[in-house]
Structure 1
């Protein structure tokens, strides 16, 4: 009966931990635009709850062993040898312990939170779950990428919502030199003003390059989060392409080829007879071609005078 009471008390304590976690988490909603604080609190609550449940279960097992007369010595020796067991377990599961400490570090260092938008392994997704040993990333196409906690402490990754969920995105066009940038800028302002995806912070059109026969135009727009920014970029790209085709077709990129007919200039010399060699024209050089060049060559190539020093000729 004592063991059953301890087990029931352990279950009740674990259920209370779950209950208090849900009560506190309900005050921090993550379905709003600015949810950075809520995501941090939820991550820390979940990690604290899991650690607490593990500690409660271990203490309950030890208490049950101590409450049984025949197993009291086993329970006492178990608690007494906890230091030795921890050393042995640490040597046997170094990678697991590293993941555990890495998960705790990520949870309480505010470097990574639940629902953060990240780029890992060239994949865009959100942090769906943070455990003691692994982290689940929900990829945009509904795939799940499971990574060890040490990955985020040893490998660089991009966190798009580290401080705020607001982001900037670019849309680029390669158009002809005859593009009307002023009219295109007015069309951009008209497009973003008619969509709720734009947060009214940034809407800029700039010419960033003009080489290779094309003009590179970059459009910068801003949105409240990564998902809205992706949709906004697609809308801006689609509508600007339609505008170029309908309103400014001269701006569409072209490949130009110039065809020339061979023609002899009016003052050109008469054609040479068959077998005649073309005369060689001597161009002015460094040591030949004119009087100054010849004099310069003589300075470098003339004979050096012979001098006698101590009955020796040099």
Structure 2
């Protein structure tokens, strides 16, 4: 009871200081939060007046939660000297605020990368038809964004750890054995390091880019994402094919949009020798001329092979990109099969059985 009474006595004696300290802490946090509310209210008002703006809505969308923590901590760190704290308590509060300030500021920087990405994507639309330059830029942007995000996290952790004297002493000791440690880590993480270096090579030499059309592992799809270690290919039927970065450095693959998205589609028809080829050629040209999918570059029909029972017709049609080329090929194939069925049904592939001729 004596100790409790002593504590209560000290509390009542220091009550003005405690009340002032709580007021400073609450006022700092509340002041920072009010600054955030005012700033983002102004941003929302600006967005309403400028509906076509990109930067302000992106800042409001991505930085709202991060600044709701960063600004109160920042204001509190500014007003902390006003609190009547003892040396030990002031050092504890200073250390807590320092760690909080570093963490929340790193969070703001990380979310700012999303804002930069939104601005770039607005100015460079990947949905446009001729998007080669845009895909180059977005591929590099995605990789650089991941590198910068990793550096922000590493620097934040490093600054927090180095704020402790014990960790600084430990770091000085570790530097003496960094050579041996780097060799061990290098041997243990050879594949990860090679993937990381392959990521730099892909980002800047660009054998593949975001939204490139690939044929890889026998599958047709588009590059959806490029990370530090792997590439995600969105296959035409909505499946995802995940491949390591080294795959695109070491193995062959088809890139249908490396320099341009234009493609020539191929359709093969197998018909009887009695089919008049010129009539089919004219029908092909007439049909393709009416198709909006055709880009008016290539339209041709050739007899490319003659087999025992059929001849092979190869039809070439061009389109602006892989998707249009595929749809145009299907339309041409369907139309010409129907044309032959209607006008030359006897020219469809068939097997002849000729018996011996009977002399009467």
Which residue number in structure 1 is paired with residue 169 of structure 2? 73
Quote the offset at 1:172 in angstroms: 1.1
Q: Could you report, residue by residue, the CA deviation over 1:71-109 in whole angstroms, capped at 9, with x for unpaired residues? A: 331344456655554333221111111111112211111
1:92-103 equivalence runs, <5 A: 92-103=188-199
* Range with greater deviation from structure 2 (200-209 or 10-19): 10-19
Paired position in structure 1 for 2:19: none
Partner SS, residue 216 of structure 1: strand
Distance 1:79 1:41 in 2: 38
TM-score by length of 2: 0.69
Please name the residue that 1:21 is paired with: 117
- 1:185 and 2:309 aligned: no
The question of whether the paired residues in 2 share the 8 Å contact of 1:118 and 1:160 is answered with yes
Relative to structure 1, the CA distance from residue 7 to residue 110 in structure 2 (aligned partners, 3 Å threshold; closer, same or farther) is same
Whether 1:220 aligns to 2:316 is yes
Moved more, 114-123 or 17-26: 17-26
Partner of 2:220: 124
Change (3 A) 1:227 1:46: same
| Aligned match of 2:235 | 139
The whole-number CA distance in structure 2 between the counterparts of 1:181 and 1:52 is: 61
Partner Cα separation in structure 1 for residue 128 and residue 336 of structure 2? 31
Q: Which has the higher helix share?
A: 2
Q: Report the CA distance shift for 1:261/1:198 in structure 2 as closer, same or farther (over 3 A).
A: closer
Range with bigger deviation, 181-190 or 85-94: 85-94
Alignment correspondent of 2:136: 40
Which deviates the most, 13-22 or 118-127?
Answer: 13-22
Structure 1 position 4 matched with structure 2 position 100: yes
Kindly indicate whether the alpha-carbon contact (under 8 Å) linking 1:198 and 1:221 is maintained by their aligned counterparts in 2.
Answer: yes
What SS is found at the alignment partner of 1:26? helix
Name the CA shift for 1:79/1:21 in 2 (closer, same or farther; >3 Å): farther
- Provide the residue aligned with 1:111 in structure 2: 207
The yes-or-no answer on 1:173 pairing with 2:272 is no
Tell me the CA shift for residue 231 of structure 1. 0.8
2:242 and 2:139 map into 1 onto residues whose CA distance is 17
How far apart in 2 are the matches of 1:90 and 1:220? Answer: 52
Render the CA deviation track for 1:40-89: whole Å, top value 9, x for unaligned: 11110111111111112112212112222333313444566555543332
Query: Are the aligned partners of 1:207 and 1:215 in contact in 2 as well (CA < 8 Å)?
Result: yes
Alignment correspondent of 1:202: 298
Q: Could you say which residue in structure 2 is the equivalent of 1:297?
A: none
Alpha-carbon spacing, 1:78–1:206, altered in 2? closer, same or farther (3 Å) = same
Specify every segment of 5 or more residues in structure 2 that has no aligned partner in the other structure, as ranges. Answer: 1-96
Question: Are the equivalent residues in 2 in contact too, given 1:65–1:74 (CA < 8 A)?
Answer: no
Higher mean alpha-carbon deviation, 124-133 vs 79-88, is at: 79-88
Cα distance in 2, alignment partners of residues 8 and 31 from structure 1? 35
Deviations 1:122-146 (A, max 9, x none): 1111111000001111111111111
Kept after mapping to 2: 8 A contact 1:65/1:75: no
**Contact 1:209/1:215 (CA < 8 Å) preserved in 2?**
yes
- SS of corresponding position for 2:123: coil
Note if contact 1:103-1:149 (Cα within 8 Å) is conserved in structure 2.
Answer: yes
Structure 1, unpaired ranges of 5+? 265-314
- Is the radius of gyration larger for structure 1 or structure 2? 1
Residue 272 (structure 1) aligns with = none
